[in-house]
Every structure is written in structure tokens, then in C-alpha cells.
């Protein structure tokens, strides 16, 4: 690990920064953060304007815009059901997007690139909390192995370009995220937005019960996306090393505890019913984020505050 070669970022507010996936959960939070910090030259393209799976379009875009800094927050993303149901999409689209963006960024002279992976890169039964060097030490969780393989390829691609080309490509591995602009799809989303929507609709419709998937026993570590955006900007400034860095809150809850907190925040007064025909996925994936902490980064938003803020955002922006 090293931090000595980081390109100056914080003080270069007119730098051309390409944030891919800027309308998603993570990309929009990074744009908010960079805007707050005073960055004036963000390069943003919607999926419709630039399909990142199309290699020649991506090459033409980089050749004409020449971003100096690149953040790879565009990806095919979804929860346990989506990952399990669309394995071809999750491996192919993610490999295409990340390969096109990383290679074009390098070939067109970007100073630095940050690639985002996910805690699902680690073996299903990794030691807890999971250190970075647990990567590739055991079999993956089957519900998301296709996505995980693509993400592992992204980390390795950054490492390979760093080694062969001396290029400043780094990777961050976020834990489960949530916040404004999350995907609230009833089936394809992650657990937290799925439950927020389900509890809200049950409250509004006067339903007596809400169905929650699995057994409720899996543990998950949640991080508010504003904390993740803060970590991304922090890493762009402070970190330059071959090893990927974990980004987590260090706090885990069971899915049952999450459901109960959500019920309280939303104000649903009925019962929870567990659908054990749905997969639990990995039993536990608490990451060891001490390397990032040692560089000076800490998360700020508690899960309770984050749930309250995200529900407020949901009421103002999503509900019909």
C-alpha cells in the first residue's frame, strides 16, 4: 500500500473529471460532493447520450473530451434477485463498461482513475471482518458470482495497468450502500430501498403485513452513499497504490434488525412475514476498512439518521 504518488486533486477545481453513471445512487452522490467542493468542469453523459458498452463510442468520447480524472460509477447493478436472475447481463455488461472506460481513460492520458467494485468480490466464507487480502482465497457466493467475477476483473485490470504502464488506477470496494437516487424497484433493487418502498406502500394501503425475503438472519454492513462519495474523493486525493481499499461503515445489522428499523422509520404498524423460499445470500460480509481509516477517512452518517433522511428523500422524490 502507498499514498505517496497521488495526483493533486482537491486543489485542482477546474480539472476535467468524468463521473460515469452520474444519475445513479453512487454517481449522483459523487457529483453532489464534487460540486460542493467547487469542481467546475465535470464531464457527465447519460446512458442515452453514451452507451459505455459500445467500445468505439467510448473511444471517440475519450478522444474528444480528454478527461483528466475518471471515476467508474457506471455499472449494471442490482440486488440478490436481479443478480441471480440475469447472470449474463451482470457479467457481460460490467466487463464491457469497465474495460472500455479503463482502457480509453489510459489511452487518452487521464492522470488518475478510480474503479468501484463491491464487497461481493470476497469469498462467501471469508474471515470477518474481511481484509483486502481475502480476495481470491475461496469460492464466491453463488447468487452474485457473475457480477463478482466482473468486479474482480476490474480490480485486476487497474492493477495490471498500474504495473505495466505506471498508471495511477486505483480501486475502492464499497459495502452495501443506500441513499438518494437509489433504485426502488420492487424485485430488482437491494434490500434497503426494497423494504422502504414495501413498508411505505403497506402503510399507505393499510396492509396488515409486509413480506421480507429470506430468514432475516444474514448480516449486512450499510454505508450511506454520501459517506461513500466522501471516501471516493478522499481516495482520489490521498491514495495511490496497487491494492484495492475496502470502504465500509464498520457496523453490521441483521436483515431482521434492518426490517424492524425500517418499519419504525416508515411508521408501518402491521407484522413482518418471512419468505424463506427467497435466498439469504452470503451469511455475513463485514469488511475490514482499517486501511482506509489509517489514511484518515471515517464515515459520518449513522444507519438510523441515514434511514430517516432517505425516507424523507423518498417521500419528496419517488412516491406516487
Ligand X SMILES: NC(=O)C1=CN([C@@H]2O[C@H](COP(=O)(O)OP(=O)(O)OC[C@H]3O[C@@H](n4cnc5c(N)ncnc54)[C@H](OP(=O)(O)O)[C@@H]3O)[C@@H](O)[C@H]2O)C=CC1
Ligand Y SMILES: C[C@H]1O[C@H](OP(=O)(O)OP(=O)(O)OC[C@H]2O[C@@H](n3cnc4c(=O)[nH]c(N)nc43)[C@H](O)[C@@H]2O)[C@@H](O)[C@@H](O)C1=O
Give the active site residues: 147
* Gap between the Cα atoms of 229 and 177, Å rounded: 11
Q: 3-state DSSP call for residue 220?
A: strand
Grid coordinates representing 19? Answer: 463521473
Residue 49: exposure state from Cβ atoms within 10 A (0-12, 13-18, ≥19): exposed
Grid coordinates representing 158? Answer: 487497474
* Gap between the Cα atoms of 91 and 78, Å rounded: 12
Kind of pairing, strands 112-116 and 69-72? Answer: parallel
Residue 7 or 207 having the CB closest to ligand Y: 207
* Gap between the Cα atoms of 74 and 276, Å rounded: 32
Binding-residue pattern over the window 8 to 47 for ligand Y, x denoting contact by CB under 6 A: ----------------------------------------
Query: Least separation, in Å, of the C-beta of 205 and ligand X?
Result: 27
Tell me which of 24, 67, 179, 214 binds ligand Y, using CB under 6 A. Answer: 214
Tell me which of 247, 255, 262, 286 binds ligand Y, using CB under 6 A. Answer: 255
**Which one of ligand Y, ligand X, none interacts with residue 144, CB within 5 to 8 A by kind?**
ligand Y
**Residues forming the site for ligand X (CB under 6 A):** 21, 23-27, 47, 51-53, 73-77, 97, 116, 118, 174, 176-177, 183, 190
**Which one of ligand Y, ligand X, none interacts with residue 53, CB within 5 to 8 A by kind?**
ligand X
Beta bridge partners of 28: none
Residue 73 or 210 having the CB closest to ligand X: 73
Residue 202 or 248 having the CB closest to ligand X: 248
Told to check if 218 binds ligand Y by CB under 6 A, we report yes
Q: What phi-psi label fits residue 281: left (phi over 0), alpha (psi between -120 and 50 degrees) or beta?
A: left
Query: Least separation, in Å, of the C-beta of 251 and ligand X?
Result: 15
Cell 489509517 identifies what position? 294
* Gap between the Cα atoms of 28 and 311, Å rounded: 17
* 174-203: contacts with ligand Y (CB under 6 A): 176, 189-191, 194-195
Query: Least separation, in Å, of the C-beta of 231 and ligand Y?
Result: 15
Query: For residue 194, which of 310, 94, 90 has the smallest C-alpha distance?
Result: 310
Query: Least separation, in Å, of the C-beta of 71 and ligand Y?
Result: 18
Query: For residue 196, which of 181, 206, 186 has the smallest C-alpha distance?
Result: 186
* 105-144: contacts with ligand Y (CB under 6 A): 118, 120, 143-144
Residues in touch with ligand Y (CB under 6 A)? 78-81, 83, 118, 120, 143-144, 147, 176, 189-191, 194-195, 212-214, 218, 220, 255, 278-281
Amino acid at each position: 500500500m502507498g499514498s505517496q504518488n497521488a495526483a493533486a486533486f482537491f486543489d485542482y477545481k477546474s480539472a476535467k473529471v468524468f463521473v460515469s453513471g452520474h444519475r445513479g445512487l453512487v454517481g449522483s452522490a459523487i457529483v453532489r460532493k464534487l460540486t460542493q467542493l467547487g469542481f467546475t468542469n465535470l464531464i457527465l453523459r447519460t446512458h442515452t447520450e453514451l452507451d459505455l458498452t459500445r467500445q468505439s463510442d467510448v473511444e471517440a468520447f475519450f478522444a474528444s473530451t480528454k478527461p483528466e480524472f475518471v471515476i467508474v460509477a457506471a455499472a449494471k447493478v442490482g440486488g440478490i434477485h436481479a443478480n441471480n436472475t440475469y447472470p449474463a447481463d451482470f457479467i457481460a455488461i460490467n466487463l464491457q463498461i469497465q474495460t472500455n472506460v479503463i482502457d480509453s481513460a489510459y489511452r487518452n492520458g487521464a492522470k488518475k482513475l478510480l474503479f468501484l467494485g463491491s464487497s461481493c468480490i470476497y469469498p462467501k466464507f471469508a474471515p470477518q471482518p474481511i481484509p483486502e487480502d481475502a480476495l481470491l482465497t475461496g469460492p464466491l457466493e453463488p447468487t452474485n458470482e457473475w457480477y463478482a467475477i466482473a468486479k474482480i476483473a476490474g480490480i485486476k485490470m487497474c492493477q495490471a495497468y498500474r504495473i505495466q504502464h505506471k498508471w495511477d488506477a486505483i480501486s475502492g470496494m464499497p459495502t452495501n450502500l443506500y441513499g438518494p437516487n437509489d433504485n426502488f424497484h420492487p424485485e430488482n433493487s437491494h434490500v434497503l430501498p426494497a423494504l422502504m418502498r414495501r413498508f411505505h406502500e403497506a402503510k399507505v394501503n393499510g396492509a396488515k403485513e409486509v413480506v421480507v425475503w429470506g430468514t432475516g438472519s444474514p448480516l449486512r454492513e450499510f454505508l450511506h452513499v454520501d459517506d461513500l462519495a466522501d471516501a471516493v474523493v478522499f481516495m482520489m486525493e490521498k491514495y495511490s497504490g496497487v491494492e484495492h481499499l475496502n470502504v465500509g461503515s464498520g457496523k453490521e445489522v441483521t436483515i431482521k434488525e434492518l426490517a424492524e428499523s425500517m418499519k419504525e422509520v416508515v411508521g408501518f404498524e402491521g407484522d413482518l412475514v418471512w419468505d424463506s423460499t427467497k435466498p439469504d445470500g452470503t451469511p455475513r460480509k463485514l469488511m475490514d476498512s482499517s486501511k482506509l481509516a489509517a489514511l484518515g477517512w471515517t464515515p459520518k452518517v449513522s444507519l438510523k439518521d441515514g434511514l430517516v433522511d432517505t425516507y424523507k428523500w423518498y417521500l419528496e422524490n419517488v412516491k406516487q
